[in-house]
Structure formats: structure tokens, C-alpha cells
Amino acid sequence: MAQRHRDHLPEDFSERSLAQDVRAGLTSSPKTLPPKWFYDKVGSELYEEITRLPEYYPFAAEREILLDHAAEIVGAASCRHLVELGSGSSEKTRALIEAVLATTPEGEQAAYRAIDVSDSALHAAADDLAARYPTLALETVRADFEHGLAQALAVDRGEVSGGRLVVFLGGTIGNQAPDQRAHFLTTLRSALQPGDAFLLGADLVKSPDVLVPAYDDAAGVTAAFNLNVLEVVNGRLGADFDAADFRHVAVWDAEHAWIEMRLEAVRDVHVRIADLDLEVDFAASEQLRTEISAKFTRERLQAEFEQAGFAAAGWWTDRANRFSVSLWTPA
Ligand code: AVI
């Protein structure tokens, strides 16, 4: 089956937006950096390692839901065209792809469009899927769904008839700030048509005794993942961060219902970011926020989706009720 690739990002997109984010984040108070910059080659490998940690339950819990309920989910969505946002390796999506293929009548076409910022992840996933599922129509789109969501979804529907199921897995929605999330949901809603549906993987609120170790594991992999963002800024913007000047912190913020990852200066630190011609000072104990990971209740998701113009169409959790996969349709 033919593969199609589209690139919606300008050549210098990554450099430009990293520079903007670093300048804005390190000159604000408190200091912040957006989590999307964790994922260079080393960061992506560390994240893969995180997903295999005993403390980091979200990955295994979501996979359990998809393996147990893929046929039911695809039946409820009744779509033969999957579109995945932030598709990465597409590994967990295979359960959904297989369920779509199993229910696609002969003579009809099943399709999968992967949308991600990483060219290498898109190509590796497409090669793997093409070999596994020769009858699947495959399309890869390199886009930043934070800014280019409408455009990434608006491209033509090709020869596939019927609705599309847009899939956003991994709990990544929790890494968006509440205003970004509201914007994301309304943009998504306006890109969907009757017959389309949206499938979301979202982590659930639970005891901090489970949540905090998931983001501060005994082996220190999450700490290395968090600290690696300093190396990303060093490598890409000529900064002179020394990771030994910072320590990893993960705290549960009960008021906002999110985990916050931070990097705390262990002493007074002066940093120069050469490419931005920027000097930044950290006082000892000052914290740089690098990620929020929001956790949800069913009620909260329902309220946010209704606000954005969606109706609930399905709800699944793993057997231990730690993680949710939910289906939403345009109201
Ligand atoms: C990608 N995202 C859903 C992960 C999370 O759980 O928020 C990123 C992560 N951060 C620390 N561990 C994993």
C-alpha cells in the first residue's frame, strides 16, 4: 500500500521555537521550560526506559486497556481511519489498527495517519507498520499539533470513506497547561465532522504514594530524563549548564491535581546561553519547572469535553483503575 509523507514544519521550526521557549522561560519568574524539549535522542531513550520502570504505571496500564478493549473501542467509534497525534513509535496503537483491520469489510480501505514532530520516529514507525500491515493505507505528517493541529487534521481524507478516529494516547494531554488544553480541545472539536470521534488516554488522580514514585523512581531514570533537558539547551543553544548544579524534584500539587517536575539549583548558579546572548542566575534552592503532568477524574474530563462541544461515548480503565481511555464525539 502506498505511503504518503507530508511535512508541515518549516526547516528551522525546532531551533526557532526552542530559542523562544528558553528565552521566555528562563527570564520569567518562576523559571519554566516546556516539557517538549525533553525528547532529543537521549531524552527519548530515557523516556522509553521510564515506560519500563516498575513505578511508572501509566504506560502498562494504558496498554492493558488497549489490548483488552481495542475491538470494543473501535466498534464504539465505528471508524476505519485512525489519526494519531504524537504517534511516536505507534507501538500501542497497533491494537487499535488490528481491530480496525479486522472490522474493515473486503473492498473497503483501512487507514492510519501518524502525526508527530519527529521525522525519525515517523519513518521508523511507518516502516514497521508497512511491513506488519500491507493492506493498511499509511500516511505520516510531521507537524506540531500544539500549533498546527487544525492544519494537520484538515488535510484531505483520501480514498477512505466514513469517519475518522483521532487518537491521543499516553496521558500526554496532562502535560498541557489548563489553558493550552482548553484551546487544544476547542481546536480539535472544530476540526472534527459528524461521524468522527476522539480517543484519549488520560491518567487518573490517585494517592501521592503511587504518583510521586512514578515521577521520582528509585533507579533515578526520571531524574536523568529531567536533567537531560539542560544538555539539550547546552547542545542546541550553546549554554553552559552543569547538570551537577541541579537536582530533580517531583511534587504532587493537590490543588491543581498535577505532578510537577522541577530542577532545583543546589547552589547559586550562573549560566550563559551563548546563542541567545543571555545570562541567567539561579539562587541556591531556586526551582525551574520543567513539566506538569495533570491527573484527571472522569467528572473533570466530562466537564472539560462538554465545555469544548463533545459528548461522552465510552470509558475504559485498567483493572486497577489507574488510567483511563475515553471516547468522545462531536456534540
Ligand atoms: C509523556 N508524558 C505523558 C509523560 C508523563 O507521565 O507526564 C512524561 C513523563 N515525565 C516524567 N515521566 C514521564
Q: What is the pLDDT of residue 154?
A: 76
Residue owning the nearest CA to atom 2 of ligand 1: 172
C-beta of 43 in contact with ligand 1 (< 6 A): no
Within 10 angstroms of residue 123's Cβ, the number of other Cβ atoms is 15
pLDDT digits (tens, 9 = 90+) for 255-298: 999 999 999 999 999 999 999 999 999 999 999 999 999 999 99
| Amino acid letter for position 156 | D
Residue positions counted in the chain? 331
Q: Is the pLDDT of residue 2 over 80?
A: no
Query: What is the pLDDT at residue 155?
Result: 59
At 102 the three-state DSSP class reads: helix
Between strands 246-253 and 258-265, the pairing is: antiparallel
Ligand 1 lined by 258 (C-beta under 6 Å): no
pLDDT of residue 159: 62
**Nearest CA, atom 4, ligand 1:** 172
Find the 322 Cα to ligand 1 centroid distance in Å. 15
Reported as a single tens digit per residue, the pLDDT across 149-193 is 888 887 566 666 778 999 999 999 999 999 999 999 999 999 999
33, 38, 50, 251: residue to mutate for ligand 1 pocket, most atoms within 8 A of CB: 50
Q: How far is the CA of 126 from the centre of ligand 1 (A)?
A: 24
For residue 222, pLDDT beyond 90? yes
For the segment 2-14, the average pLDDT, to the nearest whole number, is 75
Render pLDDT for 103-151 as a digit per residue (tens, 0 to 9). Answer: 999 889 999 999 998 888 899 999 999 999 999 999 999 888 777 788 8
What is d(CA 167, CA 170) in angstroms, rounded to the nearest whole number?
10
Q: Region 298-303: what's the mean pLDDT?
A: 98
* Centroid of ligand 1 to alpha carbon of 172 (angstroms): 7
Whether pLDDT at 315 is above 70: yes
Q: Does the pLDDT at position 246 exceed 70?
A: yes
- Give me ligand 1 centre to Cα 222, in Å: 9
Residue 57, amino acid? Y
Which of 172, 181, 222 gets mutated to test ligand 1 (max ligand atoms within 8 A of its CB)? 172
* Alpha-carbon span 226 to 23, nearest angstrom: 19
- Nearest C-alpha neighbor of 207 from the set 47, 55, 60: 55
Q: Using CA atoms, how far apart are residues 74 and 100, in angstroms rounded to an integer?
A: 6
Pairing of strands 197-203, 111-116: unpaired
- Which atom of ligand 1 sits closest to the CA of residue 293? 7
- CA end-to-end span of the chain: 34
CB proximity list for 127: less than 8 A, separation 6 or greater? none
| Alpha-carbon span 237 to 214, nearest angstrom | 30
φ and ψ of 282, to 5 deg: -115, 130
Cβ 64 under 6 angstroms from ligand 1: no
Ligand 1 pocket, 174 CB below 6 A? yes
pLDDT at residue 13 above 80?
no
State the distance from the centre of ligand 1 to the C-alpha of 219, rounded, in angstroms: 16
Residue pair 252/292 in contact by the 8 Å Cβ criterion: no
Output the residue whose Cα is nearest ligand 1's atom 6.
293
In sequence order, what E strands does the chain have? 3-7, 31-32, 81-85, 111-116, 137-142, 164-168, 197-203, 246-253, 258-265, 269-273, 278-282, 287-294, 310-317, 323-330
Q: Is the pLDDT of residue 24 over 90?
A: yes
Q: Which three cell numbers stand for residue 272?
A: 550563559
CB 140 near ligand 1, within 6 Å: no
Residues 165/66, Cβ–Cβ less than 8 Å: no
Mean pLDDT of the chain: 94
